[in-house]
């Protein structure tokens, strides 16, 4: 997700280090101290403008959430959502970093669940390694999740979904739940992402899976 250039975004982010954590490598192994509790930690890689992660954090106050996004111009919208809430969203933090660096920010087992929503599909075969469900990323997530940790993934992109089913199965993970049309029978707990709303309004089916690492 690219947004138009927002020269003010970096300043707003810098002004709120309590929400967009500027030194996540220094919090590695200490996220419970950052949140001030021992609740489970769920993270989203590729948060975009943050509708999902802010919605999840409001829906589940007893779970801590971290949204991870590459671009200032995008994550700043998630920050604005937090700032617009009276009292903020105490169980949510944001990181403006590359998800490739997850191991620099989290200890093994420190993250209880990882969400991927509408990840960039990288349709060309020569770009397969960039897909966030490529084997190298699955290995990276495994390094921060506990044994038996889970990935929950949604996309509108059939090619990426098919690729991900294969990649996840070949990695030896257990597919626990697969939907080829999430909105045909939308669970009441589903929080729509920005992309999910856009594509489902066009009538496209939304694919979803839950996968678990081996115990
Ligand atoms: N999850 C949002 C949604 O469903 O509306 C945004 C989807 S958008 C297609 C993918 C987002 O992932 C973009 O904002 C992009 O900048 C971000 N992204 C892609 N690769 C990333 C990475 N390695 N680390 C962090 N963010 C990444």
Question: 181 an active-site residue?
Answer: no
Where does the pLDDT of residue 2 fall: very low under 50, low under 70, confident under 90, or very high at 90 and above?
Answer: low
The answer on pLDDT for 1 being more than 70 is: no
Q: Enter the pTM of the model.
A: 0.97
Tell me if residue 68 falls in helix, strand or coil.
strand
Query: What pLDDT was estimated at residue 162?
Result: 98
Q: In the predicted model, what is the mean pLDDT of residues 195-215?
A: 96
- ipTM, two decimals, is 0.99
Q: How far apart are CA 14 and CA 184, in angstroms?
A: 42
CB of 71 closer than 6 angstroms to any ligand 1 atom: yes
CB 129 within 8 A of CB 53: no
Alpha carbon separation from 86 to 9, 42, 58, 64, 135 (Å, rounded) = 21, 23, 12, 18, 41
CB of 1 closer than 6 angstroms to any ligand 1 atom: yes
Residue-wise over 12-46: b if at least 16 C-beta within 10 A, else e?
Answer: ebeebeebbbeebeebeeebeeebeeebebbbbbb
CA trace torsion 75, 181, 125, 195 (10° rounding): -20
pLDDT > 90 in the chain, percent: 96
CB of 99 closer than 6 angstroms to any ligand 1 atom: yes
What do you get for the CA distance between the two ends of the chain, in Å?
34
Q: What are phi and psi of 45, to 5 degrees?
A: -95, 120
pLDDT in tens, 32-72: 999 999 999 999 999 999 999 999 999 999 999 999 999 99
Residue to substitute in 24, 46, 54 for testing ligand 1 pocket (most ligand atoms within 8 angstroms of CB): 46
Query: What pLDDT was estimated at residue 5?
Result: 74
Q: Single out the residue of 21, 15, 33, 48 nearest to residue 105, CA to CA.
A: 21
Where does the pLDDT of residue 215 fall: very low under 50, low under 70, confident under 90, or very high at 90 and above?
Answer: confident
Point out the ligand 1 atom lying closest to the alpha carbon of residue 195. Answer: 5
- How many angstroms is it from 49 CA to the middle of ligand 1? 9
- How many angstroms is it from 153 CA to the middle of ligand 1? 13
Q: How far apart are CA 120 and CA 117, in angstroms?
A: 9
| 195 assigned to a ligand binding site | yes
- How many angstroms is it from 178 CA to the middle of ligand 1? 22
What structural domains and CATH numbers belong to the chain?
24-212 (3.40.50.150)
Q: In the predicted model, what is the mean pLDDT of residues 89-112?
A: 98
| 44 assigned to a ligand binding site | yes
Query: What pLDDT was estimated at residue 6?
Result: 82
Residue to substitute in 70, 127, 200 for testing ligand 1 pocket (most ligand atoms within 8 angstroms of CB): 70
């Amino acid at each position: 997700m690219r947004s138009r250039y927002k020269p003010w975004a970096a300043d707003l982010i810098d002004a709120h280090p309590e929400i967009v954590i500027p030194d996540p490598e220094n919090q590695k192994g200490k996220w419970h101290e950052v949140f001030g509790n021992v609740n489970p930690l769920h993270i989203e890689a590729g948060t975009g403008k943050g509708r999902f992660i802010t919605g999840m954090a409001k829906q589940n106050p007893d779970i801590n959430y971290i949204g991870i996004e590459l671009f200032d111009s995008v994550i700043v919208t998630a920050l604005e959502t937090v700032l617009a809430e009276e009292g903020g969203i105490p169980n949510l933090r944001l990181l403006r970093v590359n998800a490739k660096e997850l191991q620099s920010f989290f200890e093994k087992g420190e993250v209880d669940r990882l969400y991927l929503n509408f990840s960039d599909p990288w349709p060309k075969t020569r770009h397969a390694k960039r897909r966030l469900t490529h084997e190298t990323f699955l290995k990276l997530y495994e390094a921060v999740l506990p044994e038996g940790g889970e990935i929950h993934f949604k996309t509108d992109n059939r090619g990426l979904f098919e690729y991900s089913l294969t990649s996840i199965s070949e990695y030896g993970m257990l597919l626990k739940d697969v939907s080829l049309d999430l909105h045909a029978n939308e669970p009441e707990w589903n929080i729509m992402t920005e992309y999910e709303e856009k594509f489902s309004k066009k009538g496209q089916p939304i694919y979803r899976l839950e996968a678990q690492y081996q115990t």
